[in-house]
Amino acid sequence: MLKKIKCFVCRWIIYPINLQLMIKNIEKILKEPVIEREFYGEQIKKWIWSPLIKVIVGQRRVWKSFLLKQTIQYLVKSKSFLPESFFYLNCEDPQYDSIKEYSDLNTILLPFIEQ
């Protein structure tokens, strides 16, 4: 049974400016080839249903984003979530440079929550 909750994934949050573009970005993530990182993937899967907030930390270029995308693929392919349940915002994308405070993020996030 599909979960009827929203997933907020931060890289690091999932959201392009409009919701249709957001769905296309998630579809792109779902089509990306995955080289399964079994050890880390299994660690994430053990905790994924816990109500605790999960944080992936590490230096630049150590596969944090990849693990996040791998987790999204896992959740969609296991039919736990629909692709449109995810909100993905790459904070390194220049189109989001205007986000300076939580209220800026709320402006982007609210339409997703309300859908």
pLDDT digits over 72-115, tens only?
898 888 988 888 888 877 777 787 788 888 888 888 788 777 77
Q: What is the pLDDT of residue 105?
A: 83
Sole residue written with tokens 């693990």: 67
DSSP conformational letter for 89: E
Tokens at 31, concatenated:
């089509």
pLDDT digits over 27-77, tens only?
888 888 878 888 888 888 888 888 887 888 888 888 888 888 888 898 888
Alpha-carbon distance 32 to 76, whole Å? 13
Locate all alpha helices (DSSP H) within the chain, ordered by sequence.
Answer: 19-31, 38-47, 64-77, 102-114
Residue 19 to residues 26, 35, 61, 97, 113, Cα–Cα distance (Å): 11, 28, 28, 19, 11
